[in-house]
Amino acid sequence: MTDTLAPRLPAHIVARMTAAGLRRTLATRVVLGLFLGVPDATLTHTQVASLVQARGVTVNRVTLYRLLDRLVACGVLRRQTDHASRSWRFALARDEDAEAVIRPPSFECDLCHRSLWLDAAGSEMRAWAGALLGRAAAQGHRGTQVELAIRGICADCDGVGAGGGARA
């Protein structure tokens, strides 16, 4: 039963957790199982809490906040602001996210809250972001990361991805 609730974690995730001193508790494995099951999902704390509880695991809400923050700090999850709901959303980090100062731009859907990477813009984005970091440094600031997100409605929610064409 525990194996179905909390699947085995990939080696790169275990390595990041171990390096950060995080234990692989049942709650941690269940939370990560949610994100590993749907890699492009972005979930709020409340959604994570509900899904964990639906799997029969009880986690205090403060403990869950701390767990999500620790998973972000060690590069397993990433956190983004959902400006529409004024909350944070958490998503599975890509392998390169833990090391990158300049993350690839993403498209965030306002309806389904998926976060889709725009990899083709990567080299242009890196040059632009590097220039911004240089500008900040020239003013005495130390930038630690640059993120660019385009918000809107994804093709699936808009009907384009399903062959329905764009709405008028």
Residue-range definition of the domain harbouring residue 19: 1-97
Final residue belonging to a domain, choices 53, 71, 97: 97
Instruction: Note whether 93 and 104 are same-domain residues.
Output: no
| Predicted pLDDT of residue 8 | 77
Which CATH number goes with the domain that contains 106? 3.30.1490
| Predicted pLDDT of residue 100 | 42
Q: How far, in Å, CA of 63 to CA of 70, rounded?
A: 10
| Predicted pLDDT of residue 165 | 43
Q: How many domains in the chain?
A: 2
What six digits make up the tokens of 149?
A: 């997100």
- Sheet with 87-92: list strands edge to edge: 43-44, 87-92, 77-82
| Predicted pLDDT of residue 137 | 85
pLDDT in tens, the chain (168 residues): 444 555 678 888 888 888 888 888 889 999 999 999 887 788 999 999 999 999 999 999 999 999 999 998 888 888 877 766 678 889 888 755 444 456 667 788 888 877 777 766 667 777 787 788 888 889 998 776 677 778 889 888 888 654 444 443
Which CATH number goes with the domain that contains 37? 1.10.10.10
Instruction: Note whether 19 and 86 are same-domain residues.
Output: yes
Q: How far, in Å, CA of 97 to CA of 76, rounded?
A: 9
| Predicted pLDDT of residue 166 | 41
φ/ψ of residue 126, rounded to 5: -60, -40
